[in-house]
Amino acid sequence: MTHISQQAAFLSPLSWGLPADASAHGSALDRHLLLNLWIALALLALSHLILLIGLLARRHATQPSRLWRIEHLPLAALALLFATLTVKAERLWAATRYTGADPAALQVDVTGVQFAWYFRYPGTDATFGITRPHLVAPGEGNPLGIDATDPHSADDLVTSELVLPSNREVDLRLEAQDVIHGFSVPEMRLKQNAVPGQTIHLHFTPTTPGTYAVLCTQLCGLGHFRMNASLRILPPAEFAEWLAAKQRTVQP
């Protein structure tokens, strides 16, 4: 292995134990994470250097009042550095959380319930049907409580597997029926709580076809260990075929 390839492997996020990046926004998050790790390593070395300088300076100083330059200036610089990193991290996180998704983004409703994930697609009318808590009946095939009297609910498609097209923005609507669940897909660099009574939007663009694990990162009960699902990323043509086949199964 050449020196350049060794350096590239060392700087690669994969060499640090991160899962493979399969989203459009993942590289920016990985770079920010590695930047934080390098800064933490530099600060570790700097802190020991400052301690050594401080000890030696106090031994030989004739005017201790001048030592504020050694003690306080680094603290001020660190405060500014951490503030800058915090602002950058907030902007990266807000890019998938607070900025609105593209109007053409694929809409998918994600519901967490002890101890499963359900994914709902709005169908050909591009509108989700109304759900009502008193209609929730998993044993009767209605785990989300979809109101059958709502005309928009007739073509809603509910699955236990999240299937998405590659290279198209997706707008997820996160919800929870009972307790707080943590929706997480490490390869997509996604992690957001689903909170009962709230609808939280999270948007991203998957780029790499494949199958990935959907995890729950909140301790949501005794069955938390089995609360997982699959995310399958398909090329656009294959996704269209999959969606069309599923829609035929829900047509009256």
pTM of the model: 0.75
Which pLDDT score is estimated for 5?
37
- Mean pLDDT of the residues in the chain: 83
- φ/ψ (deg, to 5) at 85: -65, -35
H or E segment and range at residue 170: strand 170-176
Which pLDDT score is estimated for 99?
67
Are 229 and 160 contacting, i.e. CB atoms less than 8 angstroms apart? yes
Q: Where are the domains of the chain?
A: 3-97, 106-250
> 106-250 — its CATH code?
2.60.40.420
Residue 175 and residue 109: Cα distance in Å, rounded?
Answer: 8
Whether the ω angle into residue 115 lies within 30 degrees of 0, i.e. cis, is yes
pLDDT band at 32 (very low <50, low <70, confident <90, very high): confident
Question: 15-19, 21-25, 40-44, 46-50 — which is least confidently predicted?
Answer: 15-19
Which of these, 73, 74, 54, lies nearest to 64 by C-alpha position? 54
Which pLDDT score is estimated for 131?
93
Higher pLDDT, 33 or 185: 185
